[in-house]
Structures are given as structure tokens and as C-alpha cells.
Chain A
């Protein structure tokens, strides 16, 4: 009977026999009790104890069976849990991968696709084709890719609409500016005629000058708007214009023009296509200079030749710019060069600098602001060599055709009889003539004023003043490039003279040996001797 409850589960012998211990113990106790008691109670006690022992054994067997069952179930459950865990880990990994892909896609959208889209939109492509071309990453779900495309498309369309509005606004600006320019130009022409007509009545003439000045200011404003709208400033000049005239043209367009002092100006001319942008940029710089300096101070303008072209310096006696403010302004100039939004424009000073920056970008001027020795600001604008040509010879003749011909002819006849002609040595020599028979002033003679040649060629000469009127511009154009001495030669001559190396007529020879002087200047030298 002891063997009855033997464990049915051979793999767990220790656990299987454990339940026998209480049964065996109770059996032993029962046997001992039966042996020790009296004979008359032995039988009932034996029966009772046997029943009890069987019951204990049964209970133990049952408990053991249940324990095994519990263990089995627990193992089963553990296996299920482990399986569940591994499944969950796999799912999480997949989700993480997707998340990373989406994150990458989002980053690509913001950092790569959107800027590219906007750039291409600004270059004039349509929103639809850009969105069509830009494909998404293969890792992301179709829904996400679709959402990405939707975002891209709505952004692209919004930007396109914005660009379109900006374009049309700019076109409208430019259109209005052009109309104002046309009116201003017409009015300036009319005023000029009136100035000629009423030139002999100072009162009327003074009023006309004031009106003329006001008109020029309006014209400059219209030009600024046109430039900011992406167009060229107003007028086109077909002929080259002397730098001196360009500077005075710029001076004539600012409010405080009497305060500008024009000092030494290099004898060069600006090619026609760059005349108007240069005038306008200089006018804006001059306007800034006069606006931000005390009303009584002068603004000094000089133009000197440098290696890369001509440096025009505008110095004012204002309070100057702090280093930080100066950097900010220069940054403003550069930003304007990179492109500018009409909506960014605030007060008028920014308008001026933005215009300067835009023109500098278009024409290749270099603009910088430096502290001035007078305490104010020194604005330097460098006009590159490509935009310069030599100054037209005898521009005074262009301004007044009779000017050279008549007094020169008279002084020639006079110089024999009077002493007045001796005042200027050049009168003793015969006048040079251009192929057209026009008198030609020689440059850089000792008595001649150097800047005389800078007076602009001007068609304001009335018709019929002399036979020279019609042919004057043609003659000028024909000669100005051929005979123009190399810029800087006069300086070499000056230095030679100062150092006393080659006095008198030897100057020309020493100049010929100068390393910088090219050989094509021989005609000019001979003309000088």
C-alpha cells in the first residue's frame, strides 16, 4: 500500500517521493499505537488508524499531483510570456525603424527639399513639376510619403503665389516709376528751355532753377523705385560722359547740393551704359553724406585713379559711424546686393543704401565706408576699369563749339602786337586741328587748367551757333581714344620734374624710359614739346 502513491512522474523522483513521507510517518505512528494499546481496543483503533493513514496518503497524493500540475502550468505560462516578449521586441524594433525613417524624411523635407523647391520656384519653375520630380524615401509608408508631398505642394504653391504677387508688385512699382520718370524728364526738358528763354531775367531764372532742382529730386526718387523694382535707373546715355560731369550730375540730384565741394577729379570718362547707375549711386551716397552731417559743413568729393579703376571718395564732417554701425551698414549694402524685398524697406536711409547696393551689384562698383579724417564718414566707391574710358579731348569744345575756335584765332593774331598773349605760353604756338578741321586743345600744357577738359560734351548748344556744331561730337569721338595719354603719365612727369632728374625737354625722354610708360604715348609727348 505504500507503493500505491508512488510518483507517476518519473522525471521528478525527489518531488514524487516527498508526498510519501507523511503517509509513512502516520503509518508508523498507527502501527506503534496499535501495538501499544490494549488488545480489546486494538481492532477498532487499528481500523480507524488504517483509514486515517489511507486518507493522509490520499491527501498527500492529491496535493503532490496538484503541485505538479501547478508547476506545469507555470512553465507553460512562462513560455507564453517569453514568446510574447520576443514578439513585442520585434514589433518595437520595426516601429523604431519606421520612426527613424520618418524622422529622416522629415529632416530631408525641411533641410533639403523645401529650400530646393523654393530655389527652383524663384528660378521660375512651376510648383507642380517640382513636386512631381521630388520623390520620397522608400522606407516611409505611402501615407507618410503622400503627406510629405502634400506639405511640399502646399508650401510650393504658397511660395509660388507669393512670388507671383511680389513680381507683379515689383512690375507695378517699376511701371509707375517709369511713368514718373517720363514726366520728370519731359519737365526737365521744358524747364531747360524756359531757363534758356528767361535767362536774362534773374528773378524768373532763379525760380526756374528751384523748380529744376525739385524736379531732379523727384526724378531721383523715381529712379530709386525703379532700381529697387529690379529695373535700370531712368535714362540711357549713348555717349561716354566725363567723370567730372557725372559727379556734378550726381551733385545736382541731392537736396543740399551747395554744400558739396568738388575737389580734384581724375580725367576719365565713364562709358555710356554705366553713366546713369553711377550718377544715381553717387547721388544716394552724397545724399547720405549731406543728410548725416551738420548743415554748415562741407562734403568733399574727390576722384583719383587707382590700380583697379577710379576711386571716388565722399567725405563728410558729420559725427561718423561707430564701428558696429559701420559694419551694419556694410552688411546692409551686401544684403542688398544679394537681392532685396520691397517689403523690407523701412525708412528712407535704408532705401538709399539698398539702391546703392543694388546698383553696385549690377555694375560691379565696390562701396565701402570708412571713418574720415574729418571725423565723419568717408564713403569710397570704386568704379572698375572696364567701365572707364579716357576723357574726351577738348570737351570744352563740345560744350561750346565757338569757345576754342574764336578766342584762339584771335589770340594768335593778337600775340604779334600785344603783350597779353604772352600770359599763356601756348598762344605762341599754332592750334592743333582734328581731321575735321576742328581746333584741338592740347592736354596738360603748363598753362592750361587740367580740369578744363572735364567740361562735359553737351548738345545744349543752340543750332546755328557755328559750323562746328554739327561735326563736333563726331570729331571728338574720333580722336578721344587715339591720342589719350596713359593715365598716370603726368604723375611720372611731375615726379621727374620734382626730383630734377630730367629738366626741360628731357622729360619726354626720361618718360620713355619709365618702366610703366607704354610706347604708344609718343604722339602725346611730341605734341607736348
Chain B
């Protein structure tokens, strides 16, 4: 994910990542988050939110995966998960686990239905 970096004295931001997360490194949400969990915001961002939180709320008007949020914010996934668990506990966003493959109907069954429909 990280490209080659310039090693001079003028790069980056003065903030370190632990300040964004308040020192936490992992998700504390009840439902486990992973990279493919879809996040969607429940409301417009409040003015009082931390900028990263507000950015997540704003970009998740349409569902986005954790991995995508991480990429857009250019923050490591763990940081995003911490931020998301804050937002989840404040009920500002919702997490939707991806539909597990097993719960989808069998491909053979779908094909059978399709053929049946065509024969109608």
C-alpha cells in the first residue's frame, strides 16, 4: 500500500496515528468488523465530530467497505476500524456484514429456475 517515500524533513503531517484513535488499536464494537464489512451512515455529519469521523459519515452515504474507507482516508485499516467502532457506538453509522456465500441459493438451482422461466 505504501509507495516509495521521500526522506527529507518536509513530509507527512504533524499528527501521529495514535492521536486519531486515542491510543486504541483494535475495534471495540460488539459486532466484529472486517475489511469487507459494509458501512453506511445513518445521518449527516454533526459539526462537532472529529474530522475523520465526519469524513467517514460523509463518504458512507452510500455503503462502502472498510477497506475502501481505509483507502480513501489513507489510514491503516485498524485506525479506520477504531474510528468506525466509535461511530457505531454513537449509532451514526450501521455495519452490514457482507452476504455470506453459503446463504446464496445454489447456482444449479438458479440455473434450473432460469431455464424454467425461459421455457414459459
Residues of A within 8 A of B (CB): 185-186, 188-189, 192-193, 195-203, 205-207, 209-210, 212-213, 216, 234-239, 241, 244-246, 248-252, 257-258, 275, 279, 396, 399-400, 402-403, 406-407, 410-411, 414, 420-421, 423-424, 427, 447-452, 454-465
Contacts and interface: CB of A to CB of B under 8 A. Distances in A.
Given A209-B25, A450-B47, 14 more contacts: A197-B2, A202-B27, A205-B26, A206-B24, A244-B51, A248-B14, A250-B14, A252-B16, A257-B19, A403-B55, A420-B62, A424-B44, A448-B45, A451-B51
Contacts of A248: 14-15, 19-20
A456 B48 CA distance: 17
Given A237-B10, A257-B19, A199 B78 contact: yes
A131 B56 CA distance: 71
Contact of B7 (A186, A196, A207, A423): A186
Interface in B17-46: 17-27, 35, 43-46
Interface in B54-105: 54-55, 58-62, 70-79, 81
A406 B51 contact: no
A406 B10 CA distance: 29
B108 interface: no
A185 B25 CA distance: 22
Contacts of A246: 14
A136 B115 CA distance: 119
B24 to A, nearest CB: 8
A396 B78 contact: no
Contact of A252 (B1, B14, B50, B73): B14
B111 interface: no
B116 interface: no
Contacts of A410: 61-62
Contacts of B12: 189, 192, 458-460
Given A399-B73, A403-B72, A459-B12, A451 B1 contact: no
Nearest to A259: B22
B11 interface: yes
Contact of A399 (B43, B44, B62, B74): B74
B23 A257 contact: yes
A197 B1 CA distance: 7
Nearest to B7: A189
A475 to B, nearest CB: 17
A234 B9 CA distance: 9
Contacts of A450: 47
- Residue in B15, B23, B52 whose Cβ sees the most chain A Cβ within 10 Å: B15
Contacts of A210: 18
Contact of A209 (B17, B70, B72): B17
A212 B55 contact: no
Nearest to A450: B47
Contacts of B48: 449, 451
Nearest to A239: B10
A462 B76 CA distance: 11
A196 B14 contact: no
20 contacts: A188-B16, A193-B2, A193-B5, A197-B1, A200-B35, A200-B76, A206-B25, A212-B17, A234-B9, A245-B14, A248-B19, A275-B14, A396-B55, A411-B62, A451-B51, A452-B51, A452-B58, A456-B15, A458-B74, A462-B74
Contacts of B76: 195-196, 198-200, 205
A216 B59 contact: no
Contacts of B25: 202-203, 205-207, 209
Contacts of A212: 16-18
Contacts of B2: 193, 196-197, 462
A22 to B, nearest CB: 124
Given A186-B7, A447-B44, A450-B47, A402 B72 contact: yes
A403 B70 CA distance: 11
Contact of B61 (A420, A451, A463): A420
B15 A201 contact: no
Nearest to B42: A423
B112 interface: no
Given A452-B58, A464-B3, A202 B81 contact: yes
B26 A202 contact: yes
B62 A216 contact: no
B49 interface: yes
**A-B complex: 4 closest residue pairs judged by Cβ atoms:** A199-B76, A249-B14, A206-B25, A202-B26
B78 A423 contact: no
A216 B78 contact: no
B74 A461 contact: yes
Nearest to B18: A209
A407 B19 CA distance: 26
A454 B51 contact: yes
A407 B26 contact: no
